Structure 1
Amino acid sequence: MTTGFGTALDTDIVRRAQQGRRDAQRQLFETFQRAVLSSLTGLCRDSELARDLAQDVFIQAFDKLPQLREPAAIGGWLKQLTIRTALAHFRRPQLVVSEPEAMPEPDARDWLSQTDWLTQQDDIEQLLSILDDHERQLVWLYLVEEYNHTELAELLGLPAATVRQRYHRALQKLKQRSNT
């Protein structure tokens, strides 16, 4: 049985929720509440903020649900809405500043080996706490939510090479901290 955003929900329930039926909306909420909250907690570090954002996600979901064309895609649609809500919360106006000393793009084998190293750590949550919000979100979206660098680049509105470099730097930061 699939869990999280991959949980199958009867398309009739989704259709009734699209029509504004409260009982169907409640079923949708109960089915995906844990997945939404889990993703947001991982992205935000703050359980109170995650609960606030989860509420925002479901308010937006019920408002936009009539626009969903394929009821069977509810899980993926809700996952995208969850991630975009979290990123919108943390998005700040960014000044265009040149990257400090441009690093060569990391070799794919290098960042894959660093990713393998990170997933073998005992307390990933504690280790990720040393990262700033943007670094943590990038690492979380890649490792936990399984977005690839191209998808992250599109989601964040950045070039894929920049996403890979920032991910690589975040992993280096984690590795340095764990060695001390």
Structure 2
Amino acid sequence: METLSYQDVNHHVIDRCRSGDHRAQYELYKLYSKAMFNVCMRITNDYAEAQDVLQEAFVSAFKNLNTYKAEASFGSWLKRIVVNASLTAIRKRRAELVPMDERTVGEVADETSEDDTEWQVERVRRAIQQLPDGYRVVLSLYLLEGYDHAEIAEVLEITESTSKSQYSRAKKKLLEIMKAPQFAG
């Protein structure tokens, strides 16, 4: 069976990086750093830590560029490295997922309404930052990064039902934060 290959629009820059061209590395960094920094921020919730994680992720990507097989976009490959580096940083902080009873999956009703669509993006972003690490990571990976619960379970080394529980609890906690009087405005 033939392996399909993805032709990345930046393949010429990637090829130059593989040959040791430092200008090409900087060019690739400029192309992807802002988006990857946003991923780091959503997961680590700490500006300085996100900067460190981003730098470490790019160093790792450049060192391991020979493992990029163009089976998906370079951005997807790099994002996986960034997500893993961000999660490693969180683990180093000894952040633990909130323990959940497996029976709680599905017990929390989806409390969104049409009024929820009027929330401002900045308020939601601030509310997400207030979530405990475990909730924020699962919510970010699921909603913002597009991972499914099976992928989250694999990356975080938890069960799929724990991922679903964390996500459900994160949504509920997020709504509580958004509705709190001290959070208004």
Question: What is the CA distance between 1:101 and its match in structure 2?
Answer: 4.9
Which of 60-69 and 15-24 deviates more? 15-24
Corresponding residue pairs, total:
170
The corresponding residue for 2:119 is 121
Give TM-score scaled by structure 2 length: 0.79
Show the counterpart of 1:29.
29
Unmatched 5+ residue regions in structure 1?
1-7
In the other structure, the counterpart of 2:84 is 84
Structure 1 stretches of at least 4 aligned residues deviating more than 3 Å after TM superposition: 92-97, 99-104, 113-120
Structure 1 residues 101 and 23 mapped into 2: Cα distance closer, same or farther (>3 Å)? closer
Cross-structure match for 1:106? 106
Deviation (angstroms), 1:20: 1.5
CA separation of 1:25 and 1:37: change in aligned 2, threshold 3 A: same
Paired position in structure 1 for 2:3: none
Q: Partner of 1:146: helix, strand, or coil?
A: coil
Distance 1:58 1:115, change over 3 A: farther
CA RMSD of aligned residues (A): 2.9
Alpha-carbon deviation of 1:135?
Answer: 1.3
TM-score by length of 1: 0.81
For the 8 Å contact 2:40–2:83, the answer to whether it is kept is yes
Q: How does 1:24-173 map to 2 (within 5 A)?
A: 24-70=24-70, 73-92=73-92, 99=99, 101-106=101-106, 110-111=109-110, 114=112, 121-122=119-120, 123-173=123-173
Equivalent residue of 2:89, what SS? helix
Name which of structure 1's ranges 67-76 and 166-175 shifts more when overlaid on structure 2.
67-76
CA contact (8 A) 1:57 1:85 kept: yes
Partner of 2:176: 176
**Corresponding residue of 1:4:** none
Name the % identity.
Answer: 25
